[in-house]
Amino acid sequence: MRKNSQLSRVLHILVHLNKSDQPITSAAFANMLKTNAVVVRRIMGMLRNAGYVLSTNGRNGGWVLNKPLDNISLLDIHQALGESTLFNIALTDEHQHCPIEKSVNRELQDVLQEVEALVLQKFSAISLDKIANH
């Protein structure tokens, strides 16, 4: 599975945004992240929908923060991005009636869910200004 880099990228963007007193364009971020402006709009669109940033059209337009970084947690961003699965481990479901498969899945799922909850808890305790001032 190809790894998901949206979280990492959007954090990078947000901290840069925080340091700017004027809008920054998708093209500028694309250049910064060595990717494409459409990719940036795709990610940032999710944050806009969640209320963390605003976009303005036209000349001198671009992206601005809509909340102070100390009011945004890593968990907020993770959730705004759609909470893609954290783990790279698949549970099989070829034979849902097979008691062994069920048992294997239950055991793996127990561990993964427990750990996922821990990740989310840790994410919630990290505010973006902590990253910005790191």
Partner DNA sequence: ATAACTGTAACAGTAAAAGTTACATGTTAA
Partner DNA sequence: TTAACATGTAACTTTTACTGTTACAGTTAT
Least distance (Å) between residue 44 CB and its own copies: 16
Query: Please, which residues have CB within 8 angstroms of residue 40's CB and are 6 or more apart in sequence?
Result: 13, 26, 29, 30, 33
Among 25, 66, 79, 105, binds its own copies (CB under 8 A): 105
Least distance (Å) between residue 128 CB and its own copies: 9
Name the residue nearer to DNA (CB basis): 12 or 129.
12
Residues 110-129 that bind its own copies (CB under 8 A): 111-112, 114-115, 118-119, 122-123, 126
Sign (positive/negative) of CA torsion 82, 87, 93, 97?
negative
Do residues 57 and 48 touch, judged by C-beta distance below 8 A?
no
Cα–Cα distance, 19 to 6 (Å, whole number)? 20
Residue 16 touches which member of DNA, its own copies, none, C-beta under 5-8 Å by kind:
its own copies
Angle formed by the axes of helices 6-18 and 26-33, nearest 10°: 120
User: Applying CB under 7 A, which residues contact DNA?
Assistant: 1-6, 9, 23, 25-27, 34-39, 41-42, 44-45, 48, 55-63, 84-85, 88, 90
